[in-house]
Structure 1
Amino acid sequence: MKTKLLAAGAAVVAGGVALWTLSAPASIGGGTLPAAEAGRGEQVFWAGGCASCHARPGSDGAARLELAGGVELKTEFGTFVAPNISPHPTDGIGDWSEADFANAMLHGVSPQGEHYYPAFPYASYARMTPQDVADLFAFLKTLPQVEGRTRDHDLSFPFTLRRGIGLWKRLYVHDQPVVALDAEASDEVRRGRYLVEGPGHCGECHTPRNFAGGSDQAQWLAGAVAAEGDGIVPNITPGEGGIGSWSAGDIAYYLESGFTPDFDSVGGAMVSVQKNMAMLTKEDRDAIAAYLKVVPAEPNGYPARP
């Protein structure tokens, strides 16, 4: 009996050590990013939708560049609060190193070595190039310093335990594209795939999630139940219920103007996203549209409404 108890205890300890190891935060270490250019970083900023979450709620115009944070995302896991990411040296990210920023964007790890919650869409940002990350960081450092820290997230146990996020990351965070393109796919479509799947993080809202909060990539961009309230996020594939009837020009015009082919206007959370898309170059909006025309067609990924 004593031998069996010792063996069971050893197994528990070994299992605990394995879980602790597997859940450890990944890091790029002390490496540096490529030489950066803030001008390029501005386009990455808009593609990445930084202002949608990190500007003060309701901000417009130049105020969207004051990244004080404060937007709240109320989910079944609790309420997540977007932090101040202005270059303020104590209340924002002004004292971060390049490695700190790269670890946050590509690995979801804080300067203190803790996992960030995936309400911060690093599961998509993990597909970004180091060059774009470097350029974005350079641009952020040119923005106004804003005083004031946001309040903490409001979460209940066990979601207060960040270490377990390391296991979630092993399942849902990787740097490979979601949609495999044919060898003859154009550079425009490949650019669109990068923008949608990486910095644009469109799948974070438009793709259904499973019980663990991971994206169901088998229904990529098929639409989903909204993270907040009882609304839905639409299907943006060419499938039934999606935008298959829209031309590439229709999609690009919607991203620029906010008007659908039926002259309806953008609404809800997409208002802020569309403002970001309007700041992109025409070529990038066209690339996004070209990609959305070739993604696999999927039926709506959310429950039918009565």
Structure 2
Amino acid sequence: MAKRILIALAVVGGAAAVAAYAATGPNRLSETELAELPEGDAERGELVFWAGGCASCHAAKDAEGDEKLALGGGLVLQTDFGDFVVPNISMDPQDGIGAWSEEDFANAMLRGVSPEGSHYYPSFPYTSFARMEMSDIADLWAFWQTLPSVEGATQDHSLTFPFNMRRGLGLWKQAFLSDAPAVELQDPSAEVARGQYLVEGPGHCGECHSPRDTAGAINYDLWLAGAPNPDGEGRIPNITGGEGGIGSWSASDVAYYLESGFTPDFDSVGGSMVGVQESLAHLPSEDLEAIGAYLKAVPEHATSP
């Protein structure tokens, strides 16, 4: 009898293990979804590139001019989970992503899945990129083909247990990865809707400007209310109209700040926001105004604790 019980327990345990392994597997884009990828346009893709601030993390520190297009990575992000190392995403076929297909790129951007089928950590902000349109993914990939190849593989992440177990990210994604809007706005204008797309999607502003819970997921109840600096010093500011935020700024003030790097009080941009601002300055003025209009439309929050 005892032997039968042990066998039954082993069978149940084995079945549970198989089910758990299947549940944590990669969720790639379907063939139907991939068929929606249009022919990309590199010129439009360059604007998506700057909207996404790709250079602010993947280019060398203090890069200027065309050096911002050399995406060799290497930046180390120190977090409570360990150190995340920003990878080489240049067109080098060995050390970068030069050997990827467009489908590989789309799966990485929208699902956080590598060509080999492993999960990317959400230090790569696919949780925001999941909201991007297929046309922007195709355009961005077309622009990527024009970027230089940079030799040199980056180091692996250095994470503590159990966060070094990538497979577990499958469950994390089931709980937190969604293409739903971060906030629901009632009848937004076309300008506000455009700003929402830029901020919540390619711009991934909430990844730094919103607090996170103990699982590392964004707290959408305090969307854009400020958060600890992922670089380890100071705080990322509240960019809503609530107490401690940018309530005194107009949409045009926001646009001017993103274009010039100067606040309405003529203070200048600093810290990690420098690279972000320099990237966003490449966008047309109507997009910067749209970002400002969206930030004036989001729910107001006092600065998060």
TM-score tier, shorter chain, comes to over 0.9
1:264 corresponds in structure 2 to 267
Q: Find 1:145's aligned residue among 118, 130, 149.
A: 149
**TM-aligned CA deviation for residue 230 of structure 1:** 3.9
Q: How many residues align structurally?
A: 301
Q: Quick one: distance in 1 between partners of 2:12 and 2:209?
A: 42
Q: Which amino acid aligns with 1:112?
A: E
User: Is 1:241 equivalent to 2:236 in the alignment?
Assistant: no
1:114 corresponds in structure 2 to 118
User: Is 1:85 equivalent to 2:89 in the alignment?
Assistant: yes
Q: Quick one: distance in 2 between partners of 1:125 and 1:26?
A: 15
* 1:116-149 Cα shifts (integer Å, max 9, x gaps): 1110000000000011011001101101111111
- SS of residue paired to 2:297: coil
Q: Which amino acid aligns with 1:243?
A: I
* 1:187-218 Cα shifts (integer Å, max 9, x gaps): 10000000000000000001100111000111
Task: Decide whether the 8 Å contact of 1:86 with 1:141 is kept in 2.
Answer: no
2:256 corresponds in structure 1 to 253
**TM-aligned CA deviation for residue 288 of structure 1:** 0.4
TM value normalised by structure 1: 0.95
- SS of residue paired to 2:78: strand
* 1:259-302 Cα shifts (integer Å, max 9, x gaps): 11111111111011100111111011001000000100111113
After TM superposition, list the pairs within 5 Å mapping 1:1-306 onto structure 2.
1-29=2-30, 31-32=34-35, 33-183=37-187, 185-302=188-305
- SS of residue paired to 1:293: helix
Q: Which amino acid aligns with 1:159?
A: F
Q: Quick one: distance in 2 between partners of 1:301 and 1:229?
A: 17
Q: Quick one: distance in 2 between partners of 1:106 and 1:162?
A: 17
Question: Which sections of structure 2, spanning at least 5 residues, go unmatched?
Answer: none
Note the aligned Cα RMSD (angstroms): 1.4
* 1:158-214 Cα shifts (integer Å, max 9, x gaps): 22210001111111111111111212x211000000000000000000110011100
Task: Decide whether the 8 Å contact of 1:57 with 1:70 is kept in 2.
Answer: no
Q: Which runs of 4+ in 1 moved over 6 A?
A: none
Q: Which amino acid aligns with 2:89?
A: I
Q: Quick one: distance in 1 between partners of 2:209 and 2:4?
A: 54
